[in-house]
Amino acid sequence: MSEPIEDLLRRVAPQVLGVLVRRYGDFAAAEDAVQEALIVAAEHWTRDGVPEHPHAWLIRTATRKLVDEHRAAAARRRREENVALEPPAAPVPDADDTLRLLVLCCHPVLSPASAVALTLRAVGGLTTGEIASAFLVSETTMGTRISRAKAKVAEAGAQFELPEPDERGRRVQAVLRVLYVMFTEAHTSSGGAGLQRVDLAAEAIRLTRLLRTALPDDPEVMGLLALQLLTDARRPARTGPDGELVPLAEQDRTRWDRAAIVEGIGLAVTARRAGVVGEYQLQASIAAVHDAAPTAADTDWAQIRTLYELLERVTENPVVTLNRAVAVAMTDGPEAGLALLDEVAPKLVGHHRLDAVRAHLLEEAGEPEAAARHYAAAAARALNVPEQQYLTMRAARLRTR
């Protein structure tokens, strides 16, 4: 079966953008031209079929768009003489510039939020509306943010190359954060009818593999790839026949991807041997403990609790404390977990997971009425349909007891 046009466009768009940036050096103009070319391709290919060399077709079309823009702007007429109007129709070389494009999107002149947004747009293939939903801002605001990010990269005179060794550490951390956020959005969608986005998760994993090829000994790169694989391994069992959410404790573990689990645990072990503790390594270790348990009852919650304590020290992230509360409840009882929730609650006001975790612990503590109220509150704030339905169902079951 041929690849769907939408999937093909999403897969090749970053590669086409990389070619144009390499050739002409103008990231902002190239990104706009590629987006216009994708719109034309979606229309023409649906009607006339996919061309023999889709990469070359898109590069030709995007280049024409780029040339038209240069012609329309009087201030850029000098550059027009250096723009090749018609690149050859021969197949494009196999070299993939996606990694360089990723590093460019994570340029240090950008704030972390802007770098994530730009990468999700240029490399991840998300629409401006989808990115806006992830950041809880309007589409207009996000569009402006992305445009400013492209302008800042251009003003900085960024080169389409991997960073020098003295700058690499900072740039790699920025890239890792972008890939982490991209995978997180894929694992639990910030909106819409589906719980997870398989295509975006696969792209995040592919890009992390590319980063590891460039930096094979970096323990945090290994840690992030391990975390992605160990988390994605559970995806087949994470939803039911109708797309409904299936919580971890109730999943059919025979449906988990054992090959991904073996690879992920191997990477996590190798990363730990480096002797440097990082947030992605710790998260991968937590995922490995879950994935190694034959049943939910066999989960080593004491080890998970210790790992969350370490992760909390490294990140000082209140969401980590929220997760630690679950582990504390599993080792010391729900009352202990609820006490920890009370401590972190002021930092998570309005977060639907705070209500969801509190509801779960209240249910475990034998307080069904209070649990139902918090399940309902969590459902009202959840951003995707499967989570909303699951939380609503939990509340309804408790109210009918």
Is 386 inside a domain boundary? yes
Given 42, 62, 80, which residue is the final one in a domain?
A: 80
Residue type, 375: Y
What is the spatial distance between Cα 219 and Cα 169, in angstroms, rounded to a whole number? Answer: 12
Q: Where are the alpha helices (DSSP H) in 123-217?
A: 128-135, 139-155, 165-187, 198-214
What is the spatial distance between Cα 368 and Cα 385, in angstroms, rounded to a whole number? Answer: 24
Range of the domain at 76: 5-80
pLDDT for 267 equals 97
Domains held by the chain: number: 2
Is 346 inside a domain boundary? yes
- What is the domain-level CATH number for residue 332? 1.25.40
The tokens 């307080």 sit on which residue?
367
pLDDT band at residue 395 using 50, 70 and 90 as cut-offs = very high
Which of 94, 141, 103, 144 is CA-nearest to residue 122?
103
Residue type, 45: W
Is 276 inside a domain boundary? no
pLDDT over 90 (residue 131)? no
Q: Where are the alpha helices (DSSP H) in 233-278?
A: 258-272
Tokens of 379: 């459902």
Given 80, 115, 135, which residue is the final one in a domain?
A: 80
Is 319 inside a domain boundary? yes
pLDDT in tens, 48-83: 899 988 889 999 998 988 888 776 664 444 544 454
Residues of the chain with pLDDT > 90: what percent? 49
Tokens of 134: 């992830």
pLDDT for 74 equals 46
Is 397 inside a domain boundary? yes
CB atoms within 10 A of CB 9: 21
Is 167 inside a domain boundary? no
pLDDT in tens, 149-169: 988 988 887 776 766 777 777
Rg (CA), the chain: 23
Helix (H, G, I), strand (E, B) or coil at 234: coil
What is the spatial distance between Cα 241 and Cα 274, in angstroms, rounded to a whole number? Answer: 42
Is 265 inside a domain boundary? no
pLDDT over 50 (residue 89)? no
Pick from 148-162, 211-225, 304-318 the range whose average pLDDT is largest.
304-318
The tokens 């009818």 sit on which residue?
193
Residue type, 374: H
Single pTM value for the model: 0.78
pLDDT for 94 equals 46
What is the spatial distance between Cα 83 and Cα 92, in angstroms, rounded to a whole number? Answer: 18
Least confident stretch, 122-126, 226-230, 390-394: 122-126
pLDDT band at residue 276 using 50, 70 and 90 as cut-offs = confident
Is 396 inside a domain boundary? yes
What is the spatial distance between Cα 220 and Cα 371, in angstroms, rounded to a whole number? Answer: 38
What is the spatial distance between Cα 352 and Cα 340, in angstroms, rounded to a whole number? Answer: 17
Given 80, 109, 140, which residue is the final one in a domain?
A: 80
pLDDT in tens, 325-368: 999 999 999 999 999 999 999 999 989 999 999 999 999 999 99
Tokens of 309: 């304590």
> How high does pLDDT run on average in the chain?
86
Tokens of 156: 């900085």
CB-based burial label for 254 (10 Å; 0-12, 13-18, 19+): exposed
C-beta of residue 21 within 8 angstroms of C-beta of residue 97: yes
Tokens of 259: 């090959």
Higher pLDDT residue, 110 or 304? 304
Residue 192's DSSP bridge partners are 384
Question: Which residues fall within 8 angstroms of residue 342, CB to CB, at 6 or more apart?
Answer: none
CB atoms within 10 A of CB 40: 15
